Amino acid sequence: MKTESKKEYDLIVIGAGSGGLAAAQRAAEHKQRVAIIEMGQLGGTCVNRGCIPKKIYWYAAEFAYDLKHSNTLGFETNDFKHNWQTLQQASKQYIKKLNDMYRKNLSQKNIEIITGNASFQSSKEISVGGVLLTAKQIIIACGATPVVPDIPGAEFGITSDDFFELKNKPNKTIIVGSGYVAVELAGILNALGSDTKIVARKNSILRKFDQSIQSSVIDYLVESGVEVSLNTDVLSVKENNNQLLVQTNNKDHTSVDALLWAIGRKPLVSDLGLERTQVTKDKNNFILVDQYQTTKDPNICAIGDVVGNHELTPVAIAAGRALSDRLFGGKENERLEYENIPTVIFAHPPVGTVGMNEKEARATHGNKVKIYEANFVSLRHSLIGVSSKAMVKLVCLGKEEIVIGCHIVGQGADELLQGFAVAIKMGAQKKDLDNTIAIHPTLAEELVTLR
């Protein structure tokens, strides 16, 4: 291979998303010479087309929801309007601030930013734009990208990557998928005035989550106006006069302004040149690593979405920091433990979950599991006439009733879960929650008053 120059480092990180940035900066704190390679914007999916813009749009959707129901509390807001482009501009301005902040932080820590596509030449060599880079350690943190199905007309649809680039709000939208991306974007579009439908292949949505969460979220979606079509496959998509004609196996021929694919994500590994290393992948092309994030090639590690294990920003960050502490900070056994990782779905209302769901617990522990659950219409929804029920659920184990799972659907679930996740991580028992005085009236109090 012809190269223009050669550069040497202690660590090269491929991908400047949340995990890659965390690993690079922690390594620099350990006085390592670090380079980070990125072909797009700093911050990766989370900052540019994931968590951050999603949460900004979610705030707008929550505000719209409150305005819609505010007459009950004496407000007169019947003629309010929403400007989609103003929301988009606000989101992009905030993202630019984060991009600039990351660039400044990397510069302050003397981390070299290399723009381009990385390609392994060997276990310790990477080429980028004709330059050969070498390092004794390399971390792959290049993330994942949305999957688009192989059906006629699939290219007429968009993905979550494209959603935040929409110049105008679609009046009518179909979202194909059943995971948290589908649920979150459906809630945003619906609250902001788009006629929205979720199309799911199986008999439920959020199937990786507790059954009680699935039921509660479907109830809220349907009552809020989102159509949920289960056991449905999209067969083809056609474009006609700026409309998309979507055909399904249920003989639907729905005409919509936008079709959004939210059917999963695949790792961005196809152009990395992994065949020139010892790195191995699973059947879905996710990189295989051990408990210390090390691949089959001892000089190469991988973190974040590219390994397909809990594809969450805080997980990638924690894994990246732990990895650099192990490689360069003298902490030989440092690693991320993947148990009891809290997760939030920013639906309306939000969902919070940590630990085992009921099905998993019973499959693992049998009759040693005891479930405590309450379903109720919250005070807020009682006032505005919403009949769907909030849900709190504890999964407990053994005579000591150790809390091994906590699941919440309701206003504030996103914020209150963090404290309960700490308690569960510390081994809390049901009696510890029972002995805690409730804060009234809140959703959180239901978790310490379950009987």
CA–CA separation, 287 vs 274, rounded Å?
10
Query: In Å, what is the CA distance from 170 to each residue of 144, 182, 188, 194, 370?
Result: 26, 16, 12, 6, 46
Residue pair 10/27 in contact by the 8 Å Cβ criterion: yes
Give the relative orientation of helices 18-29 and 313-328 as an angle to the nearest 10 degrees: 30
CA atoms within 13 A on the CB side of 432: 14
Instruction: Record the tokens describing residue 104, joined without a space.
Output: 């400044």
CA–CA separation, 285 vs 296, rounded Å?
14
Residue pair 369/361 in contact by the 8 Å Cβ criterion: yes
440 annotated active-site: yes
Q: State the sign of the Cα–Cα–Cα–Cα dihedral 68, 73, 77, 83.
A: negative
Q: Report the C-alpha dihedral over residues 175, 258, 59, 320, rounded to 10 degrees.
A: 60
Query: In Å, what is the CA distance from 242 to each residue of 27, 251, 258, 273?
Result: 50, 22, 9, 40
CA–CA separation, 114 vs 3, rounded Å?
16
Q: Tell me the catalytic residues.
A: 440
